[in-house]
Structure 1
Amino acid sequence: MAPVYPAFPVNKSGHLPVSSTHAIYYEECGLSTGTPIIYLHGGPGGGIEDSDRQYFDPSHYRSILFDQRGSGKSTPHACLEDNTTWHLVSDIEALREHLKIEKWIVFGGSWGSTLALTYSQKHPERCLGLILRGIFTLRREELEWFYQKGADMLFPDYFEPYKAIIPVEERGDMMKAYYKRLTGDNEEERLKCASAWSTWETATSKLMVDPEYIKKVDDPKWALAFARIECHFFVNGGWMRDGQLIEEAHKIKHLPIIIVQGRYDVVCPAKISWDLYQSLGGKDNKNVEYIILDDVGHSAHEKKVELALVDAADKFKSLKA
């Protein structure tokens, strides 16, 4: 397995208006005539980072990265208006058409895998293949495991401050209670809840708790977009029926797909990726490669995960647009 590629610059960037309210920030990197690959960031609300482009060989790929509505450099910041899974799917298509791309490889981890599955199931004819990490399919049981009861059994010391910010009488539905505050008029309360929500997620993202990673939360602008947009999407179940992405996986089973999953992923447990793999045909489907990494958690920034993702992108160099 090869390490991530050395840092390289952005060739072109800009803002694409996608509605009367929203404009999404995007970047083009690598070889302008290369195989197109689009990177879908996590969260939702996380935004892209400079390191995200380093999975893709700049001498082969034309990599496209963008900040989803309300995230990163997209405007307006942390906006929930007209911000749903289906709006984001439409944005991906708008970006593809704007860049005059016929087909591309779709790459996404965590929430990015959710969006990749949603997009590819709606537009399979636009996909050359999928690279997915830390699978998340937005089922209610997945959300309750992490935000209500389940993951707290493994990280009780970090769950306690996340829970403590909500009054006892509202703790029967933590996401609903957070949403009420993250969308309320009290700015101090919004920022306090954004910090608690985001700290819980960053603390549990790696196999070993990484204090440096948790420091991302020190940026209140990032934390507010991350927490508000995530909570908005999750209380609304992603605006799709429960289990839809698993049930409709048959629509993409003909595509080359690589799934990379951490064995000890607490945010998106391995059972989710296993359910997806089975719904794609499991070991009988030679188009799908399922990779379990035995000593990592959820984050793409754990070394073995980085290596596996670079390896996956290198394997897909044989795909042609």
Structure 2
Amino acid sequence: MTTVRYHQGHLDVGDNHHMYYECSGNPQGIPVLMLHGGPGAGLSPDYTDFFPLDAFHVIGFEQRGCGRSTPHLSLTNNTTQHLLADIRRLREHLGINKWLLFGGSWGSTLALLAALEEPDTISGLILRGIFLARQQDFDWFLTPQGGAAQVYPDLYPTYIEGCPEATSVEDILQYYRSQFADLTSEQAQLAAIKWYNWEESIARVYPGPGYPTTLPAHPTVMSLAVLEWHYIAQQCFIPENDILNRAGALAHLPGIIIHGRCDTICKPENATALHERWPLSQLHLIDGAGHSSSEPAIKQALKNAVQHFRTLSQNTL
């Protein structure tokens, strides 16, 4: 019998971290792993809405330091390599041989890295808002010369308010490092709200409601800001151009790339650069849409991609 959510729990992944995960839909259906963004965003309450739950076995987990995973906001043993190991451990724990990866923004980065690490365990990828974790991607999102600040010049000054110099990514990250020195302080909470407000304000062509931004700071506001800062300060723990340099290893995997043409968090060129190096991928640039999966045209494109893989699976039975 198909259920909506039939299992949830915490998996001990070592290093004093316990990863929250949950399984929904049909246990005999097509396995699909949801990789949330951020880092630090956690699972959105409606993430299973993209899938017909009679046909899919949907697995969601919350990455180290955020959501219901513990310890919250921990930066210790919290790197991209740790997250990739957690993905592998979760797959083995659930006894899944192959699964479809579904990820947006930072989730697309993790999905690509997981596919490059263990391509034989992947049946396909659905990716939205491609983030390649290159220096130019950090510049685009964070600096006054970047695309985001050029499109939103009225909102950007609040993001860097109090920063004595803000000409480079390094300047901005150093400022936020000082603000996040004590994560229990009001200073850290106010800085997290500034970081979160910048991202949330530019995520959609037409702004939508986000988390409250009053003190005390919402846990997701804190985790999104602090973990994004932590990862970007370390170039997301991967070499420059790592994904594009290795993209040839994806050649045999089917994938659908969905990217808003008006995305100001992750520039659309990311999607075209990836598509050019991945022969079996389909590219869909969505007119009039930005970064968020909640935008109607993005949401519909993702649902269409899910249906494509459902049909593909039925045709190979």
Deviation at 1:169, TM superposition (A): 3.7
Task: Answer yes or no: is the 8 Å Cα contact 1:263–1:293 preserved in 2.
Answer: yes
Residue equivalent to 1:245: 243
Check if 1:306 corresponds to 2:299: yes
Asked if 1:156 is matched to 2:140, the reply is no
Seq. identity, %: 34
Which amino acid is the alignment partner of residue 73 of structure 1? R
- Matched with 2:285 is 292
Mapped pair 1:78 → 2:73: yes
Whether the 8 Å CA contact 1:42–1:110 is kept in 2: the answer is yes
Asked whether the equivalents of residues 15 and 77 of structure 2 are also in contact (C-alpha less than 8 Å), the reply is no
Q: Distance in 1 between matches of 2:177 and 2:117?
A: 29
1:97-155: CA deviations, max 9, x gaps?
00000000001000000000111101101100000000001001111111113211111
Tell me the distance in 1 between the aligned counterparts of 2:117 and 2:178: 32
**Contact map agreement 1:46 1:71 (CA 8 A) in 2:** yes
- Indicate whether 1:192 and 2:187 are aligned: no
Name 2:174's counterpart in structure 1: 176
Separation in structure 1 between the aligned mates of residue 184 and residue 97 of structure 2, nearest angstrom: 46
Return the offset for 1:186.
6.7
Verify the 8 A CA contact 1:182 1:227 in the aligned structure 2.
no
Contact 1:179 1:228 in 2 (8 A): no
TM-score (norm 2): 0.93
1:106 to 91, 101, 106: 101
Q: Which runs of 5+ in 1 are unaligned?
A: 1-7
Q: Secondary structure at the match of 2:155?
A: helix
Give aligned pairs, total. Answer: 306
The separation in 1 between residues aligned to 2:268 and 2:159, in whole angstroms, is 24
Cα shift at 1:9? 3.2
Paired residue for 1:87?
A: 82
Alignment partner, residue 205 of structure 2: 207
Q: CA deviation at 1:35?
A: 1.0
Q: Secondary structure at the match of 1:16?
A: strand
Structure 2: stretches of 5+ with no match in the other structure: none
Q: Give TM-score, length-normalised by structure 1.
A: 0.92
Task: Please give the per-residue CA displacement for 1:145-174, whole angstroms capped at 9, x wherever unaligned.
Answer: 1111321111122111111132x2465421
